[in-house]
Amino acid sequence: MLKRKWLKGLAMAMGVSCVGIGFLHMALGDAAVPGMNFSGVAADSQSRFFGAIFVGYGGAYIWAARQTPIAIPAIRWLSGILALGAVGRFISLAVHGSPHWFVYLLTASEVVLPPLFFWLSGPVEEAGSRAPSRLSTAS
């Protein structure tokens, strides 16, 4: 039961954070990214576009957390997408070298959070799949 509350709270926090960050990227474009100088109109447009996608990504976390029971498959898919984002950051590190220090913090969260979501979601899925006890249906 405690893991269920942690999962719901973490998913809601993740969703609200992503929505906020997404709107920040939509409003500020390249300026929302630490260490990123203005890279031209195309890069700014791309940054604002991905901000909108991040708003939707955060909204999906909020939706999944608000379901009864919590939408475990959605949480796991969203967590997998976050982990895939970390893979993209590692590729960038290999191709272009060391980024701004803040990107390392983002990468750390993208490596740590997906396994945490998977760990928290395991017991919730098992608890949700159990048949109701006979005591709960007795009159």
**Tens digits of per-residue pLDDT, 50-75?**
999 999 999 999 999 999 999 999 99
Is residue 132 pLDDT above 50, yes or no? no
Token digits of residue 70: 């919590």
The pLDDT, as a whole number, for residue 126 is: 58
> What pLDDT shows up at residue 37?
77
**For the residues 117-136, what does the mean pLDDT come to?**
63
Average pLDDT over residues 82-102: 95
- Report the chain's mean pLDDT, rounded to a whole number: 88
Distance of alpha carbon 44 from alpha carbon 32, whole angstroms: 10
- Predicted TM-score (pTM) of the model is 0.83
Sole residue written with tokens 């700014």: 44
Amino acid of residue 86: A
How many other C-beta atoms are found inside a 10 Å radius of the C-beta of residue 52? 13
pLDDT of 128 above 80:
no
Angle at Cα 38 formed by Cα 33 and Cα 43, nearest 5°? Answer: 80
Task: Please say if the pLDDT value at position 92 is more than 50.
Answer: yes
Is residue 29 a contact partner of residue 46, using CB atoms and an 8 Å limit? no
pLDDT band of 139, cuts 50, 70, 90: very low
